[in-house]
A = this chain, B = another copy of it.
Amino acid sequence: MRIVIVGGVAAGMSAASRARRFSPDAQIVVFDRGEFVSYGACGLPYVIGGEVGDFGDLVARTPEQMRARGIGVRTRHEVTGVDARAATVTVLDREAGRTTTEPFDRLLLATGVSAVRPAWAQTDLGGVHVLRDIPDGRALEASVAGARRACIVGGGYIGLELAEALRARGLSVVLLERGPEVAGRMLDPQLQAQVREELERGGVDVRCGVTVEGLTGTGHVTGVQTDAGLVRADLVVVAVGVKPNVELARAAGVRLGKTGAVAVNARQETNVPGIYSAGDNTQSTHRVTRRSVHIPLGLPANRMGRVAGVNMAGGNARFPGVVGTGIFKTFELGVARTGLTQTEADELGLNAVSVDVTSTDHAGYHSGSRPIHVRLTGERGTGRLLGAQLIGRNHLSVKRVDVVAALLGTRATAQDLFDADLAYAPPFSGVWDVLLVAADRLHRQL
């Protein structure tokens, strides 16, 4: 049994490790076009910000460590083609410039996503960056050292995390967002302003409803031209989204889903026998809506990889699906969501209602107490929970989103949440945790 894995970061390495454990005999080879494998890409903004010492700290296991476990890791090896009928891949050794053909019994596509670069960002100007992998991070780090004015384009997770990081490095930061507010796809409109206000409190110049038209400069960037004028900048980060890397899948005759990412079943099998897909390049099933979604995040990617690894090695694991959980920190603020927002529920035609509760994360009288806002969404008629959005001024307080995330997996009702025997002591929550207060209000409206 020869298992070939394309891509050695989250899903690919999880798959390799699982396959190794499950089948001591299988030959396992991982090809990655880059230099680094098995690292936490989500940590990149925190290296820039200084909370992580070095890019090397993000690496969980080196190729040597993987090889010692019997996993053949070949970095700087790019898989350029797949022949599904012959069960071979074409591999370019980028160091040697040599191409070989490699056979497989099972093939995993764990090719991830690439940062979207709009036409204006396809440039050779110095000081223009995206942030997807360690080389991106090193290049950005090198630019930060000499920069004074940063312009971040895009108000999603990475843009918001980087805004804090670049302010921490002493740069002035302008954040441009095309939509009416930052975090626009993550939260309902009622909560978005709080995120913007926190950025502004942290000294970020946030400009929403602004479209970028181009960059200025020769050799090195000097500014970002927008429909609202020129923004001077000697450092530009393009964080406008990602797209799944599906070229190999297409070449292999693997079917893509409506989301544009690879379609798989719960065993991570594609439509082509013997070919699996896992990670950010792959779509998954939303457990609340039962629809296919493309949510490229760390935990689902790792989980899909595990499932694929077990199954490629002859086992039988199933990916349970996702519920759309996401979380980030920017400055002091923690922001989290799970399930559906009211906006998303409305788009799906569900009979949804939301309640908002502003309370404190500790007992109100405790000096450690900070504000927390919970928006909880449920379905009229069935009473079931649909989702939650949380914003807390002690960022750790929003990790309680996990309570709702876990319950969404069991198709629980608002009453189930209200009945939960949650932990209470003054340094942790009010006697009625804010989630319970919200559940109480919600279930009376369902």
A contact residues vs B (CB 8 Å cutoff): 10, 40, 42-43, 46, 50-53, 57-58, 157, 161, 287, 297-300, 302, 320-329, 334, 336, 338, 363, 365-368, 394-403, 405-410, 412, 416-417, 419-429, 431-433, 435
Whole-angstrom distance between the Cβ of A17 and the nearest chain B Cβ: 12
Asked whether, in the complex, the Cβ of A422 is within 8 Å of the Cβ of B51, the reply is no
Question: What residues on B are CB-neighbors of A405 within 8 Å?
Answer: 420-423
Partner pick for A43 among B57, B363, B407, B412, CB 8 A cutoff: B363
Whole-angstrom distance between the Cβ of A131 and the nearest chain B Cβ: 14
Question: What residues on B are CB-neighbors of A328 within 8 Å?
Answer: 425
Asked whether, in the complex, the Cβ of B338 is within 8 Å of the Cβ of A425, the reply is no
Asked whether, in the complex, the Cβ of B42 is within 8 Å of the Cβ of A421, the reply is no
Question: What residues on B are CB-neighbors of A394 within 8 Å?
Answer: 396
Partner pick for A327 among B51, B402, B425, CB 8 A cutoff: B425
Given A10-B431, A320-B421, A410-B410, 11 new contacts (CB under 8 A): A40-B365, A42-B425, A42-B431, A43-B426, A321-B421, A329-B427, A329-B428, A403-B406, A406-B420, A407-B407, A407-B410
Given A42-B363, A43-B365, A428-B327, A422–B406 Cβ distance below 8 Å? yes
Partner pick for A326 among B366, B396, B402, B423, CB 8 A cutoff: B423
Asked whether, in the complex, the Cβ of A427 is within 8 Å of the Cβ of B40, the reply is no
Q: What is the bound-complex CA distance between A115 and B287, given in angstroms?
A: 48
Partner pick for A403 among B302, B323, B326, B403, CB 8 A cutoff: B403
Q: What is the bound-complex CA distance between A58 and B408, given in angstroms?
A: 35
Given A363-B42, A428-B329, A431-B42, A409–B420 Cβ distance below 8 Å? yes
Copies of this protein chain in the complex: 2
Q: Identify which of A42, A417, A422 gathers the most chain B CB atoms within 10 Å of its CB.
A: A422
Q: What is the bound-complex CA distance between A48 and B53, given in angstroms?
A: 39
Asked whether, in the complex, the Cβ of B42 is within 8 Å of the Cβ of A423, the reply is no
Whole-angstrom distance between the Cβ of A16 and the nearest chain B Cβ: 16
Residue of B nearest to A39 (CB): B365
Closest A-B pairs by Cβ, 8 of them = A327-B423, A320-B419, A406-B420, A57-B365, A323-B421, A298-B431, A329-B427, A402-B422
Q: What is the bound-complex CA distance between A408 and B409, given in angstroms?
A: 13
Q: What is the bound-complex CA distance between A422 and B397, given in angstroms?
A: 14
Question: What residues on B are CB-neighbors of A424 within 8 Å?
Answer: 42, 297-299, 327
A sample of 10 inter-chain contacts (CB < 8 A) reads A46-B426, A52-B367, A52-B426, A299-B422, A334-B427, A400-B400, A402-B422, A406-B417, A406-B420, A409-B416
